[in-house]
Structure 1
Amino acid sequence: MSDSKTEQTETTEQTSTRSVLDSLIESGVHEMNRERFGLLLSGLSAGLDIGFGPLLMGVILTLSPGGFGDLTTELLVASVYSVGFMLVILGRSELFTEHTTLAVIPVLDGQASFRQLLRLWGLVYVGNIVGGVLFTLLAVQLMPGLGVVSPEAFEAIARKLVSHDLRWLLVAGVFAGWLMGLLAWLVAAAQETVSRLLIILIVTGTIGILHLPHSIAGNVEVLFGLFVSPAISPADYLVFLVLATVGNVLGGGVFVALLKYGHVVRGAD
């Protein structure tokens, strides 16, 4: 009787895991088949929306008596960093780092081509980056004048990402992509909005408190510094963006998409 219950539990768990995989494949294929301009606009919307997280980070740093390194400030900064991701993910806009996992799985399953993957990545990535640039331009022009955030806070946020060596940027980018891939998987598995909010807060808050380079949110963070401080150069920005993007793709594509797909498919054999 005990063995029968164990087998039934294992079957239920496998079915649930397979359902998550099937949901991700269906979502990925759907996005790949979307019209080009629609994908670009959705990516633009995500690039704009995600900027609210870095902006709130600047507000916290401006208002807090402590800076980076102070435990309370770090926890608050990591918490508000999650806001942009909540707006994007629950609003169902297209985020490049989600698709480093979502869009890879249909290719692994043979339901989409590598060319379709590159098309989706390219459109979403360009939309995300352009949206981030537009948000940053608005924020650095309007927010300091309102007195809610200082240029020094914008510079501090940027320096936290560009002051490390190149190996750190790449390896930390892998960890950020890994976490974002797990986020895509966990959000697909969650059944309720409250659960999804909690998952987003925990996972992206982890990225925030570790100051890992997320190519899309980090795009806004480093642009803040580039636009307000001579200490951040265009070269700093470009190096960050390239290494963070490559690391994010490797983290989401290898450590989540490839491994999760492999263990679910082999477990079903």
Structure 2
Amino acid sequence: MAESDGGETPTRFFGGQTPARDILETQIEEGLHEIHRELDGLFLSGLSAGLDIGFGPLLMAVILTLSAGSYGDLPTELLLASAYSIGFIFVVLGRSELFTEHTTLAVLPVIDGRASLRDLGRLWSVIFVSNVIGGLVFALFVVNVIPTIGVVRPESFVTVAEKLIDHGAWGMFLSAVLAGWLMGLLSWLVTAAQSTMGRLLIIWLITAAIGLLHLPHSIAGNVEVLFGLFLAPEITLADYGRFLVLATLGNVVGGSVFVALLKYGHISRG
């Protein structure tokens, strides 16, 4: 059994698995690192994440263009879900800052008494704003460039957007809670994984599930709905604002309550 030295992450294993208490401590330390990071570094990392995650919705539109152009049949749905996960793989393995990971990661140091709510608000604000700006830049670039090379029909972008905004307000919020819950589990399980291939599989499984269920993810969905906003007159700025607010609130509740609070509670009292 090896003990941590000088603040390094413990490397104890039992039965080939990382102990839950070690995962918790690693998550707290990572959250503290980001909370104390310089604002410009946080912003640039969040901007990168907002840009990179857009490749998932873009590939979804490409698949819809190459297929029948609609959701419904199982092969198309599975392809779309796998395409959706690509952006998350870029972001999570690339170690960029994604808001929905920090709805769990950054909450844990606050629960543990090592950071304040003010620290949490600062971190969330910088990462959320930079993620949204990155998605906006990506969406503007894509809708102006990609259709001109003939690989995506504009209608496919609109189809992707409409799938998210068709939810009622209560349904959108509750489904966003599920998405935030899954993203919190992703952060937890990626920390527990002991290899890059293991992390890759976890990211694909969880984010493909979000895509297959069409759950509202505030950052990836930001790009999806912006596609529709820029290309379809029937999708309005009010639709976009409604989506962003409800998806963000639901994601925060899912990651903070169903992962951060519950995991911390049962492990700290174990």
TM-score by length of 2: 0.93
Report the Cα offset of residue 66 of structure 1. Answer: 5.4
1:188-229 Cα shifts (integer Å, max 9, x gaps): 000100000000000000000000000000000000000001
Matched, 1:214 2:217: yes
Equivalent in the alignment of 2:101: 98
Aligned partner (choices 245, 248, 258) of residue 248 of structure 2: 245
Answer yes or no: is the 8 Å Cα contact 1:101–1:181 preserved in 2.
yes
Structure 1: how far apart are the matches of 2:150 and 2:17? Answer: 54
Structure 2: how far apart are the matches of 1:63 and 1:232? Answer: 24
**Alpha-carbon RMSD:** 1.4
Report the Cα offset of residue 65 of structure 1. Answer: 2.5
Structure 1: how far apart are the matches of 2:198 and 2:250? Answer: 28
Q: Which portions of structure 1, spanning 4 or more consecutive aligned residues, are displaced by more than 2 angstroms? A: 10-15
- Structure 1 unmatched ranges of 5 or more: 1-9
Matched, 1:76 2:79: yes
Q: Give the secondary-structure state (helix, strand or coil) at the position aligned to 2:269.
A: helix
Structure 2: how far apart are the matches of 1:85 and 1:246? Answer: 20
Given residue 74 of structure 1, which amino acid in structure 2 is its aligned partner?
E
Report the Cα offset of residue 14 of structure 1. Answer: 9.7
Query: Which of the two has greater helix per residue?
Result: 1
Answer yes or no: is the 8 Å Cα contact 2:18–2:192 preserved in 1.
no
TM-score by length of 1: 0.94
Change in Cα spacing, 1:263 to 1:52, as seen in structure 2 (3 Å) is same
**210-219 or 65-74: bigger deviation:** 65-74
How many pairs does the alignment contain? 258
1:41-100 Cα shifts (integer Å, max 9, x gaps): 100000000000000000000001352011111100000100000000000000000000
Matched, 1:148 2:151: yes
Answer yes or no: is the 8 Å Cα contact 2:229–2:235 preserved in 1.
yes
Q: Give the secondary-structure state (helix, strand or coil) at the position aligned to 1:213.
A: coil
Given residue 119 of structure 1, which amino acid in structure 2 is its aligned partner?
R
Identity among equivalent positions (%) equals 64
Equivalent in the alignment of 2:231: 228
Structure 1: how far apart are the matches of 2:180 and 2:124? Answer: 14
Aligned partner (choices 252, 260, 263) of residue 257 of structure 1: 260
